[in-house]
Amino acid sequence: MTGLLHQQVDAVASRAPGLPAVQYLDSVLDYGALARETNRLANVLVAEGVSHGDRVGIYMDKSIHTAVALYGIMKAGAAYVPLDPAAPVERIAGLIRDCAIRCLVTSPGRRRVLRSLFERETGVDCLIGVTSEAGLPARCLSWQEVADRGADSAPQVEVRPSDLAYIIYTSGSTGTPKGIMHSHASGLAFARWAVAEYGFTQEDRLSNHAPLHFDLSIMDYFGAAVAGAAIVIVPEEYTKLPASYSKLVEDQRITVLYTVPFALIQMLLRGSLEQRDMSALRWAIFGGEPFPPAHLRALMERLPHVRFDNLYGPAEVNGCVHHTVGRIDDDEAPIPIGKVADCADILIIDDHDAPVAAGEIGELLVCTPTMMQGYWQRDDLNALAFYTSTGAGKDVYYRTGDLVAQRDDGLLRFVGRMDRQVKVRGYRIELDEIETALTAIDVVEEAATYTVPDDEGSQIIHAQVTLRPGADATSAQVIKRLKKKLSWYAIPAKLTVEDSFPRTQTGKIDRRLLRTQALDAAGRGSAERAHSA
Amino acid sequence: MNLRQALKDYISTELLDDAGQIDDDENLLADGMVDSLGMLRLVGFIEETYGIKVPPEDFVIENFRSIVVLDAYLARASAGPAGGA
């Protein structure tokens, strides 16, 4: 029986225990060691009262223990929930309460924030990865203690493929993050698809650039395990400095990159690639947002031996559509998102759920074994997220909210969103969530947000607010308070305090006009209009 | 005001929104500290304010991970060009 995510590690460990499984700078765990370490953690978690179906948080700085944490939690029969180490403590506390996490796997670098977390009512009473000397009001077990106490063989916990394996939280338009639930079956279906499609083998060294709470990490971790390949974790510091990142890719002989266009563009512009030996690299896979073709063409010319692939898929379905990029002749033509995975089926529908005519724009619906179970305890959202086909199979499709059209050559092209979800450096953000958070600040009367293109191939968020009568606040003060509520990537790059907003005829804030004014002020308005014409 | 203090002030007020004074040896690149766009802004600030050009090969962890190493790097960089006209 190998239908579970953690069984992939154990399968490699039993046939080839000496293969490298995880690398973090100079630390390496081979598959035998990873299987043993994860068994020990699982036993400790079970002894601490974690049982089948529970949720365990991973709130840690990236390290060699990250891999131990996620497989160890699943071996205990629980689901892992990655929490952004850079998120404000209030948000972390909210997620912990939302899915009733009692136990966190953490790291010494989190101590300061953990102290502040324990000033709030969260229900957390067990911390793995820190010593009791930290003085935190919970049972604390260091990794040394986990190694000393946990038995080397796996605990007897029955886990089924349909069981919850992980929850990844994403921005919610009402202001509350929503938890995307994946089972072992859906995570594994995606990993197996990726291994077959990209031809990963045990010779490969997959980079893990994305943090764990970003769904790109799913392919890195589980693709590597299915293939028996190594995962090379990119330390947080290296993700911030492009020449250090490219040096790591060279030194660690990384063969597969999977990241957002922003990181690859930074590597092109500031990565000193002319000084690097990137000969080991064979795949550069990107997703999260569109890659500006001119930058992609330049990068492909710089790395002619590497294949570049655009992998599309909301976290709700993992990757389901992809396109290996050929020659780019037109720097203005967006890169298509490509063709549908063999395991998936799609519909492109209009406002009345009827299929659009060939080539017309419609919403993309996806039916795939890589699809989520639903949103954690959100029946309201689940009622709207899925579409059941009227055919004999009554197949269930996920409504992506993405507008697409099929080109004459059969490839799909991404057109835009049906709602106000935006992508900033690959991160998904609901503009409505930011506005809700802004208007919840006591001095703020109304708020409007919109995006404008930056010069790095992505978007930045602008915000404007009006203040309540008699209130007084600077934009810096408003931003500072917003940072206590939202993740760093959702914080507007620019926020201004206004006396009033322009209105549409129906009295709504005219966000379209605000955006046009911002584009004009940046001298980009006419260029954008010409481009979209 | 000396360079080290100016860097600290810029980072804590502009990049970390007055999250408190940073220590000279604190890791600026840790989770929750300066992000990748913030690092780009920091380079822009250095280039504009001090006229020191930071080439891509110098924009690395060894030169930017803390105030101490950044200060030392900028002292070397401004002491004279290593080559070129």
Give the 3-state DSSP-derived string for A457-526, with helices as H, strands as E and coil as C: CCEEEEEEEEECCCCCCCHHHHHHHHCCCCCHHHCCCEEEEECCCCECCCCCECHHHHHHHHHHHCCCHH
Instruction: Please give the helix or strand (H or E) that residue A437 lies within, else none.
Output: helix A431-439
Of B36, B57, B61, the CB nearest to A272: B57
What is the distance between the alpha carbons of residues A173 and A362, in angstroms, rounded to a whole number? Answer: 22
A397: helix, coil or strand? strand
- End-to-end, the C-alpha distance of chain A in Å comes to 55
Answer yes or no: do A270 and B56 touch at CB < 8 A: yes
Average per-residue pLDDT in chain A?
93
Question: What backbone torsions phi and psi does residue A424 show, to the nearest 5 degrees?
Answer: -125, 115
Tell which phi-psi region holds residue A398, choosing left (phi > 0), alpha (psi between -120 and 50) or beta: beta
Tokens, residue A92? 């972390």
A359: how many CB neighbours lie within 10 A of its CB? 10
Write down the pLDDT at residue B82. 52
Answer yes or no: do B31 and A238 touch at CB < 8 A: no
**Chain B residue closest to A61 (CA)?**
B31
- Residue A256, strand partner residues: A206, A283
Write down the pLDDT at residue A529. 46
Residue A25 has pLDDT above 60, yes or no: yes
**Chain A residue closest to B65 (CA)?**
A237
Residue A532 has pLDDT above 80, yes or no: no
Answer yes or no: do B32 and A86 touch at CB < 8 A: yes
Gyration radius from chain B CA atoms? 12
B34 close to A (CB below 8 A): yes
Answer yes or no: do B30 and A109 touch at CB < 8 A: yes
Residue A434 has pLDDT above 60, yes or no: yes
Residue A526 has pLDDT above 60, yes or no: no
Q: Which pLDDT band, with edges at 50, 70 and 90, does A225 fall under?
A: very high
**Chain A residue closest to B64 (CA)?**
A241
B20 close to A (CB below 8 A): no
B3 close to A (CB below 8 A): no
What is the distance between the alpha carbons of residues A478 and A496, in angstroms, rounded to a whole number? Answer: 9
Which of these ranges, A225-234, A251-260, A343-352, A454-463, has the smallest mean pLDDT?
A: A454-463
Residue A19 has pLDDT above 80, yes or no: yes
Answer yes or no: do B29 and A272 touch at CB < 8 A: no
Average pLDDT over residues A32-43: 98
B59 close to A (CB below 8 A): yes
Residue to test with chain B: of A110, A250, A270, A484, most B Cβ within 10 A: A270
B65 close to A (CB below 8 A): yes
Provide, rounded to the nearest whole percent, the portion of chain A with pLDDT above 90: 83
Instruction: Give yes or no for a contact between A496 and A449, defined as CB atoms under 8 angstroms apart.
Output: no
Question: Strands, E, within A350-410: which ranges?
Answer: 362-367, 374-375, 386-388, 396-406
Q: Which residues of B touch A426 (CB under 8 A)?
A: none
A25 close to B (CB below 8 A): no
Average pLDDT over residues A266-277: 96
Tokens, residue A105? 């796997």
Q: Which pLDDT band, with edges at 50, 70 and 90, does A296 fall under?
A: very high
Answer yes or no: do B59 and A239 touch at CB < 8 A: no
Question: What backbone torsions phi and psi does residue A107 show, to the nearest 5 degrees?
Answer: -145, 155
Write down the pLDDT at residue A394. 84
B81: helix, coil or strand? coil
B56 close to A (CB below 8 A): yes
A29: how many CB neighbours lie within 10 A of its CB? 22
Residue to test with chain B: of A110, A237, A268, most B Cβ within 10 A: A237
B18 close to A (CB below 8 A): yes
B44 close to A (CB below 8 A): no
Answer yes or no: do B57 and A239 touch at CB < 8 A: no
Angstroms from B75 CA to nearest CA on chain A: 20
Residue to test with chain A: of B11, B59, B62, B69, most A Cβ within 10 A: B59
Predicted confidence (pLDDT) per residue in A393-408, tens digit = 889 999 999 999 999 9
Predicted confidence (pLDDT) per residue in B3-56, tens digit = 899 999 999 888 887 666 788 998 999 887 898 888 999 999 999 998 999 999
Angstroms from A104 CA to nearest CA on chain B: 17
Residue B85 has pLDDT above 50, yes or no: no
Residue B84 has pLDDT above 60, yes or no: no
